[in-house]
Structure 1
Amino acid sequence: MALLQSDSVMRQPSYAKSWVARILSTTSFQMLSVAIGWQMYNITDDAFSLGLVGLAQFVPMLLLTLVVGQVADRFDRRKIVAFCQFLEAIVAAFLVFGNHAGWVGREQILLAAAVIGACRAFEGPSMQALVPELIPRAMLPQASAWSASAGQTAQILGPSLGGVLFAIGPDFVYITSTVALLLASLLVFSIRMERSERKVEPVAVRSIFSGLEFVFRRKVILGTISLDLFAVLLGGATALLPIFARDILHTGPWGLGLLRSSPAIGALLTSLVLARYPLKHTLGPMLFSALGIFGLATMVFALSTSLVLSFIALFLTGASDVISVVIRSTLVQMNTPNEMRGRVSAVNSLFVGTSNQLGEFESGTLAGFLGAVPATFIGGIGTIVVAGLWMYLFPSLRRLRTFTVEEGSA
Structure 2
Amino acid sequence: MSEPTYSNNAIAAVKIPEYRSLLAGRFCFITALRMLGTLVGWWMYELTNAPLAIGLIGLAEVIPALSLALYAGHVIDVSEKRKLLLKGIFGYLCCSLLLLLISTRYFNTNTTKTIVIAGIYTVIFISGIIRAFAGPIFGAIIGQMVPRVILQNAITWNQGTYLSASVVGHASAGFCIALFGNTGTLGIVAGLLSVALFMLSKIKSKPAASTSVNKRTWESVREGLNFVYNTKEVLGALSLDLFAVLFGGAVAMIPVYARDILHVGPIGFGWLNAATDFGSILMVITLTIFPLKTQQGKKLLFVVAGFGLCIIVFAISKIFWISFAALFVSGLLDAISVVVRGTIVQLKTPDEMRGRVMSVNSMFINSSNELGQFESGVMAKLLGVVRSVIFGGTMTLLVVIITWFKAPTLRKMEY
**Same topology, TM > 0.5:** yes
Residue in 2 aligned with 1:107?
Answer: 118
> Does residue 256 of structure 2 align to residue 243 of structure 1?
yes
Conserved 8 A contact 1:133-1:196: no
Residue in 1 aligned with 2:288?
Answer: 275
Residue in 2 aligned with 1:177?
Answer: 189
Counterpart AA for 2:367: T
Q: Secondary structure at the match of 1:5?
A: coil
Give unpaired runs (5+ residues) of structure 1: 403-410
Give unpaired runs (5+ residues) of structure 2: 1-5, 109-114
Q: Secondary structure at the match of 2:11?
A: helix
Conserved 8 A contact 1:142-1:274: no
1:358 to 360, 364, 371: 371
| 1:190 CA displacement | 1.5
Conserved 8 A contact 2:379-2:388: yes
Q: What are the residue-to-residue correspondences of 1:98-177 with 2, within 5 Å?
A: 98-100=102-104, 101-103=106-108, 105-168=116-179, 169-177=181-189
1:321 to 334, 349, 367: 334
What is the rounded CA distance, in whole Å, between the counterparts of 1:197 and 1:175 in structure 2? 38
Percent same amino acid at aligned positions?
A: 35
How many residue pairs align between the two structures? 401
- The answer to which of 104-113 and 245-254 deviates more is 104-113
1:51 to 55, 80, 83: 55
1:349 to 357, 362, 382: 362
> Does residue 300 of structure 2 align to residue 287 of structure 1?
yes
Counterpart AA for 1:25: F
Counterpart AA for 2:140: A
What is the rounded CA distance, in whole Å, between the counterparts of 2:135 and 2:284 in structure 1? 19
TM-score normalized by structure 1? 0.95
Conserved 8 A contact 1:141-1:278: no
Counterpart AA for 1:306: I
Residue in 2 aligned with 1:408?
Answer: none
Residue in 2 aligned with 1:212?
Answer: 225
Residue in 1 aligned with 2:266?
Answer: 253
Conserved 8 A contact 1:149-1:268: yes
> Does residue 89 of structure 2 align to residue 85 of structure 1?
yes
| 1:62 CA displacement | 1.1
Residue in 2 aligned with 1:234?
Answer: 247
What is the rounded CA distance, in whole Å, between the counterparts of 1:6 and 1:75 in structure 2? 32
> Does residue 64 of structure 2 align to residue 64 of structure 1?
no
What is the rounded CA distance, in whole Å, between the counterparts of 2:161 and 2:144 in structure 1? 18
Counterpart AA for 1:180: L
Conserved 8 A contact 2:102-2:120: no
Residues 212-245 of structure 1 show CA distances to partners (whole Å, capped at 9, x for unaligned) of 1110111111000000000111111121110000
> Does residue 45 of structure 2 align to residue 41 of structure 1?
yes
What is the rounded CA distance, in whole Å, between the counterparts of 1:357 and 1:209 in structure 2? 25
| 1:356 CA displacement | 0.3
Q: Secondary structure at the match of 2:31?
A: helix
Residue in 2 aligned with 1:73?
Answer: 77
| 1:4 CA displacement | 6.0
| 1:159 CA displacement | 1.1
Q: What are the residue-to-residue correspondences of 1:325-336 with 2, within 5 Å?
A: 325-336=338-349
**Post-superposition, which runs of at least 4 consecutive aligned residues in structure 1 deviate over 6 A?**
none
Counterpart AA for 1:386: V
Tell me how large the CA RMSD over aligned residues is.
1.5
Counterpart AA for 1:301: F
Residues 63-112 of structure 1 show CA distances to partners (whole Å, capped at 9, x for unaligned) of 11122101110111111111111111111111112211233621111112
Give the 3 Å change call, closer, same or farther, for CA 359–133 of structure 1 in structure 2: same
TM-score normalized by structure 2? 0.94
Residue in 1 aligned with 2:312?
Answer: 299
Q: Secondary structure at the match of 1:102?
A: helix
